Structure 1
Amino acid sequence: AEIGDYDPSKHYGNYISDFKILLKQTHKIEEKIMELHPTLKNHTPLMAETCFLKKASMLDTYGVDPHPVKDHRGSQLYLGLNHTGVLTFQGSRKTHHFRWGDVQKLNYE
């Protein structure tokens, strides 16, 4: 919504890198965004933002604030909480989901 319709006279080079769209925004992701940008012509800002939120809400990491932790073997993981329970991630891939109804005890060491 912030960038507007694709315009080749304004949108050239790596124009997406000037915008912080994702937490871990890589060059590969920016290339995909620039590939899709021209296909979204004539979307109003509201339509574009609604489409973005619908897609984002389907991600495992939506609404989760990940915190770095180490498992019992010392491997790096991320722990996150949301309305459904406790989740663990390796990178952006969900590895476990403990539903609140199944959680009996939390221990912090």
Structure 2
Amino acid sequence: MKIVDSAVLGDYDPVLHPMGYVSEYKLIIKQTERLEEKISDYHKQLRGMNNVVAEREFVNLATSIETYGFDPYVVKDGKQSQDLVVGATCRGILVFSKNQLLKNIPW
């Protein structure tokens, strides 16, 4: 899988973007086929959008996500002997257990 930035795909074109094209790109950690279909549908809806506007919208959306810039580390919880994921973001420290946010410690 390739890691893709917001400008790689360009404007939606059914010839250049056949069914399943999103699976070639690593967009998120747990990428499913269903999510890839949603991404493809959203790409189609943005057809005709100026590249500069598309990149600005992408950055605005990405930075609004709670885990934007998350740098995860797997650690053991000493009390319950379970794996936790701890990481820093631009807003603070996040602690997850089984994909559930347990703690948000803002800077």
Name the residue aligned to 1:20.
26
Q: Percent identity?
A: 37
What does residue 86 of structure 2 align with?
Answer: 79
- Preserved contact between residue 67 and residue 89 of structure 2 (Cα < 8 Å): no
Cα distance in 2, alignment partners of residues 25 and 36 from structure 1? 15
Equivalent-residue separation in structure 2 for 1:41 and 1:35 (angstroms):
10
Aligned residue pairs total: 100
TM-score where L is the length of structure 2: 0.78
Partner of 1:38: 44
**Distance change (3 Å), C-alpha of 1:30 and 1:81:** same
Please state whether the residue corresponding to 1:24 is helix, strand or coil. coil
- RMSD of Structure 2 on Structure 1 (CA): 1.9
Match of 2:75 among 69, 76, 86: 69
Runs of 4+ in 1 over 4 A off after TM superposition: none
With over 3 angstroms needed to count, the CA separation of the structure-2 counterparts of 1:46 and 1:22, relative to structure 1, is farther
The range that moved more, 19-28 or 36-45, is 19-28
Unmatched 5+ stretches in structure 1: 101-109
Structure with more strand by fraction: 2
Structure number with bigger Rg: 1
| Distance (whole Å) between structure 1 residues aligned to residue 99 and residue 47 of structure 2 | 30
Residue 25 of structure 1, CA deviation: 2.3
In 2: Cα distance, 1:47 partner to 1:92 partner:
32
Gaps of 5+ in 2: 1-6
AA aligned to 2:87 is G
Q: Which amino acid aligns with 2:63?
A: S
